[in-house]
Each structure stands twice: as C-alpha cells, then as structure tokens.
Amino acid sequence: MTAPFRSFSRSLTVERLLHPITGDDFFSEYWENRPLLINRNDARHFHGLPGVDEVDELITATTSGRVRSSDDQFLVRSEGDGHASRRDVPLNDHGIPDIQDVYRAYHDGYSIVVNRIHRRSAAVADLCRSLEAAFHHRVGVNLYFTPRSGQGFAPHTDDHDVFILQLHGMKEWHVGTPENDLPLPAMKESSPPLADFEKFILHAGDTLYLPRGFPHEAVTGASSSLHLTVGIHVYRWADLLSEALTLLAAEDVDLRAALPPGFLDGPLPASHAADLADRLAKVLADATFTERAKTSLGTSLLATPKAAAHSQFRSLDALAALTETAVVSRSPGMLCRVRFTAHDATLEFAGNYVSGPAFLVPAFTHIAEHERFAIRDLPGDLSGDDRLDLVGRLISEGLLQHESEKP
C-alpha cells in the first residue's frame, strides 16, 4: 500500500507564486488554458532567489566536467534576419567556464542561459520541491539574463507550462495563439508565426504564466533583464496509460512478444491488437492496478535531482547529544511517501528512502505528516532508543534536521 504524498508548504509557495490570484481561480480559469500576467509593483516579491549579483557565481562555481551537458549553459542572440545565434560558453585550461568571454558576449548583446539552475542553487531547489509538492508534476528552472535592447530567442513554443519570474529589470513578452492545444514534444513548433500577439510587460516581482504550446518571444528595453523560467513538466494521461501498459507487459507475455518478422510489408493482425487493447482496458478498470501505475509515476517524481536544501552538518555533529525531548524538522516542501506491506515499511523522499519492519508504519506516517515534531511524540511500538535510532538515521540520510542546530 502507498500513503499520499505529504508536504506542508504547498499553499504558501503557490500563494506566493500567484499572489494576489487564488489557487482556485488559477486552476479553474488559467491552468492549461490561457496566459496570466500578475503585476505586483513589488520588486522584492521574489527576494531570496538569485539576483544579478549571483549570476557570475552560478556560471562558474558549480560546474562539474564529468556531468556537464552541452546545454547546461550557453549564449544566444536573436539576429536581424530572425534567426538565433547560439554558442557554447568556452572553458579555460582548468575546465572552468571562461567568465571573461561571457562578459564580452553579454556586452555584444548575447543573453546568458543557465539551465537546470535547481541543481546549482539551494533557494531555487527549495522552490522546485515546494512546487512539486503542490502540483505533483516535475519542476525545473532555467535562468535567463539578457542585456538592454536585446533578444535571446526567436519566436518559439515550449512543450511544458512555464511561470516566468521577473527578478530584475523589465522584459516585454509577445504571446501568440497556439496551433495545437497542449502539444506533445514531437508537436513543438521550432519557428511559429507571431504576426498577431498579445503584449505582456514584466517588471521585477511580476509573474507570467504561459500554458504549453503558446508561441512567444521576449525583448528588453532600456534595462537588462533577469528572469527565471519555472517549467512544469506534466505527467499526462498518456503517460499514465503508458506506465500501465509497461506494468501489464511485465505480467502478460503476449505483450512482450515480437511483432511478426517482416511486419512492415503487410497488415498486422487487427484482432490480436484489439485483444491486447481489451486486456489493458480491463486492468485499467481495476483501481488497484491504476494506483500501481500512479505510484510508479510518483517514484520518478521523487528521484528528480536538485541542489541540497540546507547545511546538514550541524545536525550530524549534534547526533551524539540527541535526546527524546529534541525537536526535529524537515525541509519545507520536501515530498514524503510511505509505502508498506504486511511485513515491511518504506519512507521515500528526495530520491532516497529508509525502510524497516512493518511496525514502523505509524512512525513513518507521523514523519510524513508533520514538518516539525518532538522525537518523543513518534507513535508506534518503539522504545526511546528506537526513536532516537530512527531519527538519527533520517538525519544522516538528509531528511530531518535538529531544530536547535539550524544556522
């Protein structure tokens, strides 16, 4: 069995993202439907997220040659003929991005793109965790820094929903009408027409929501612009059905059989394909099987890599002095899930897990349902030493933190 995901900063984070729009209004009127601009006249609304002063460090300080991808960061500029010039950030002899080259490119009108900033910034990682807890969809964040009178990309569409968080300066967005509603990645247009568009102007502290498929471009004016694009990479109904089909194939050998040799030269046996589809339809009518497919999607959500949320070393240093009266807490927004059978229990979180005998289910559930608690309040058939051992294990695995040792 699987208990629901638990988090305790869902409403706070979504409220901050959408303020003063309510979550109910957003999901009923805008989600997957139409753009939403939120002007706030509050430049400090996103205080705590990276600003202009952090861009240099984010480019240079957290790059690993072993895991670096070609699109981790790059430079892009929209040219007069409408196409975009893109080039990689060069590396110096030590494998570190050449920041002087980046400065020169920025001066020449290139926008700086740092993708997957949630793997580099703890503040952005916290934002992602909280939004994943609210949406139950994967969240990733890219950073865009554009000089004044500049444009990075030509008109394009995204195959995921985005929230644009304006952190510095001003940016003017031109948003057109989609050719395809809620497009799949393969339906994404590389250079969509943008003859007619709606104009949205963002200043620091503003938010723009764009559902996937809406063509758009953005330009700066008299000031530079720094924004984060928060991408909501949704699990579609098609993904759930695909997951269910994979689970069924593990149980039904006919689905694992090869297509007939030379199948491209003639028609496939339609009756056999229909029979396999009927088998899938029958298992989907079983709520237990559908829950298994949903659980499998949840496992992939928990495994999304992000930067560490906070320093854990103070709590690790304090483990020897831990007592039952101590209060511990977990990172706001961190998803937790309890899975259990008649014999064992597992607490899943952030690509990690702790498991043990089934009598741990009440304690695991309490931890998943409470952001902050005293160790002595853990329920279940546990001795004082059992509670201390369990909490110590969860501190060492990065889920819990000693309240008194928070920096």
Picking from 233, 253, 281, the residue at the C-terminal end of a domain is 233
Model confidence pLDDT, tens digit, residues 52-92: 999 999 998 755 444 556 688 999 998 877 778 899 998 88
Domain shared by 147 and 15, yes or no: yes
Closest CA to 104 of 84, 75, 78, 131: 75
Domain boundary pick from 233, 266, 287 = 233
Highest mean pLDDT among 3-7, 76-80, 192-196: 76-80
Query: Do 154 and 195 touch, CB atoms closer than 8 A?
Result: no
The predicted structure's pLDDT at residue 406: 55
Residues 211, 138 within the same domain: yes
Q: Give me 311's structure tokens.
A: 């320093």
Tokens linked to 40: 């706030």
Q: Is residue 2 part of a domain?
A: no
8 Å CB contact between 360 and 392: no
Mean pLDDT of 170-174: 96
Residues 37 and 123 in one domain: yes
The pLDDT value given to residue 260:
92
Question: Has residue 5 been placed in a domain?
Answer: no
User: In this structure, are 208 and 351 located in the same domain?
Assistant: no
pLDDT in tens, 389-406: 999 999 999 899 888 755
Do 85 and 145 lie in one domain? The reply is: yes
pLDDT > 90? residue 380 = yes
Specify the pTM.
Answer: 0.86
Strand-pair partners of 186: none
For the residues 113-118, what does the mean pLDDT come to? 93
Question: What total number of domains does the chain contain?
Answer: 3
pLDDT in tens, 240-259: 999 999 999 999 999 999 99
- Edge to edge, the sheet with strand 344-349 lists 336-340, 344-349, 352-357
**DSSP assignment letter at 47:** B
The CATH number covering residue 342 comes to: 3.90.930.40
Q: Does residue 331 sit within a domain?
A: yes
- Among the residue ranges 172-181, 187-196, 226-235, 313-322, the one predicted with the least confidence is 187-196
Is 97 domain-assigned? yes
CATH of the domain at 80: 2.60.120.650
Q: Identify the H or E element spanning 38.
A: strand 36-38
**Chain segment 358-375, per-residue pLDDT in tens:** 999 999 999 998 989 999
Of 239 and 304, the one with more pLDDT: 239
Q: What is the pLDDT of residues 7-48, one digit of tens each?
A: 434 445 788 899 999 999 999 999 999 999 999 999 999 999
Chosen domain end from 210, 233, 256: 233
Task: Say if 1 falls within a structural domain.
Answer: no
Percent of the chain whose predicted confidence (pLDDT) is above 90: 66
Three-state secondary structure string covering 124-182: HHHHHHHHHHHHCCEEEEEEEEECCCCCCCCCECCCCEEEEEEEEEEEEEEECCCCCCC
Q: Are residues 160 and 297 both part of a single domain?
A: no
Residues 276 and 359 in one domain: no
Q: How much of the chain exceeds pLDDT 70, in percent?
A: 92
pLDDT, position 216:
94
- Structural domain including 320 reads 313-405
pLDDT at 407 over 60: no
4 in any annotated domain: no
Both 261 and 160 in one domain: the answer is no
Q: Are 74 and 110 within 8 A, CB to CB?
A: no
Q: Can you list the alpha helix ranges (DSSP code H) found in 334-406?
A: 361-369, 384-396
Mean pLDDT of 284-301: 90
Is the residue at 3 inside a domain? no
> What are the backbone dihedrals phi and psi of residue 338, each rounded to the nearest 5 degrees, phi first?
-105, 125
Q: What are residue 181's phi and psi, to 5 degrees? A: -75, 130
To the nearest whole number, what is the mean pLDDT of the chain?
Answer: 89
What is the tens place of the pLDDT at every residue in 317-338? 989 889 999 999 987 667 889 9
Residue 48 lies in a domain: yes
The rounded distance, in Å, linking the Cα atoms of 147 and 57 is 18
Q: Higher-confidence residue: 167 or 5?
A: 167
**Same domain, residue pair 216 and 295:** no
Q: How confident is the model at residue 309 (pLDDT cuts 50, 70, 90)?
A: low
Asked if residue 267 and residue 326 are part of one domain, the reply reads: no
Q: DSSP string spanning 219-276?
A: E--SS-EEEEEEEEEPPPHHHHHHHHHHHHHTT-HHHHSPPPTTGGGS---HHHHHHH
pLDDT-derived band at 285 (thresholds 50, 70, 90) equals: very high
Q: Are residues 183 and 120 in the same domain?
A: yes
Are 341 and 297 in a shared domain? no
